[in-house]
Structure 1
Amino acid sequence: MDKEKAKALSEMLKRYKELQDDESVNLIEFHTADGQKHGIGNTAVISVLLSVAIIELERLLRVAQFGNVSPQLEQSREYKAAKALEYAMNDFGFKPERFAESLTFFHKTLEQTFFRTVKASILAMAARKPSMIDDRNRASYEMCQMLVSILDDVRLPFI
């Protein structure tokens, strides 16, 4: 972990979130290499830019705290599937209940594989170091910790 970088990113992230929350930014100015200045004064565009900046700062902070994804994992089909799911869930219109309802239409062998994946995901979350868990995921982490004893005793056969 790069503690100095993580601290600086954490402070910058906090400041950007404050700017986003109080909606006080009314101009973003860009300075080009040739000395020209260009500005954006549209508050809707500024809001989107702040959101993108916050997402990127959160990503950079995770990398500073926990490191990058290994090239081997990044090239795996499992990682690519997880990224596709991340993309789908990164939308306020994503409904977990509708997703769960959709599972009944999976091929039954794939439904088995999905639940083995859910089990593995719960066990992996529970195995994380507490320092890797932020407040947004604290309740999920604690729930996973409670489920470990149950899941360790349950075998999901491949039929």
Structure 2
Amino acid sequence: MDNQKARMLGENLAHYKRAQENGSVNLIEFHTTDGQKFGIGNAAAIQLLLSAAVTELERQLHTARFGDIPERLEKSREYKTAKELEQALNDMGFNPKRFAETLPYFHKTLEQTFFRVMKACITGMAKREPNHIDGRNRAAYEMCRMLAPMLEEIRLPFI
């Protein structure tokens, strides 16, 4: 972990989040390599740019603290599938209950596999170090810590 880089990124992230939350930014200025300056004063565009900056700083901070994703994972089918799921979940219209309603329509063998994936996700999160858990995920982490001992005892047969 690069402590100095993580501290700097954390400070920048906090600054951008405050700016995003309180709406205090009224102009974002870009300086080109040829010395020209361009500004954006549209409030909606500023919010969008700040949102993108916050998301990117969160990613950089996570990488500074915990490292990059291992190459063996990044090239795997599972990672690519997880990234597709990430995109679907990022849509504000994604409805977890409606998603759960679709499961009975899976092929029954794939439904088994899906629940193996959910079990692995729960037990995997439960094994994380507490200092690697973001405040947004604290409740889910605590729930996984409670469920994991039971799930580890239950075998899901492949039929």
Q: Which residue of 1 aligns with 2:134?
A: 134
Name the % identity.
Answer: 62
> TM-score, normalized by length of structure 1?
0.98
CA distance in 1, matches of 2:56, 2:148: 33
1:152 positional shift = 1.3
Q: Which residue of 1 aligns with 2:74?
A: 74
Which digits, 9 at most, give the CA deviation of each residue in 1:1-39, with x for residues without a partner? 111111110110000000000101111000111111001
CA distance in 2, matches of 1:69, 1:152: 26
Query: What does 1:3-152 align with in structure 2 at a 5 Å threshold?
Result: 3-152=3-152
Structure 1 outlier segments of 4+, above 4 Å: none
Which digits, 9 at most, give the CA deviation of each residue in 1:100-135, with x for residues without a partner? 111111111100000000000000000000110011
CA distance in 1, matches of 2:9, 2:76: 29
Q: CA RMSD in A?
A: 0.6
> TM-score, normalized by length of structure 2?
0.98
1:149 positional shift = 1.5
CA distance in 2, matches of 1:101, 1:58: 33
Which digits, 9 at most, give the CA deviation of each residue in 1:28-59, with x for residues without a partner? 00011111100111110110000000000000
Counterpart residue type for residue 102 of structure 1: T
1:90 positional shift = 0.7
CA distance in 2, matches of 1:117, 1:91: 22
CA distance in 2, matches of 1:28, 1:87: 28
Unpaired stretches in structure 2, ≥5 consecutive residues: none
How many residue pairs end up in the alignment?
Answer: 159
Counterpart residue type for residue 111 of structure 1: E
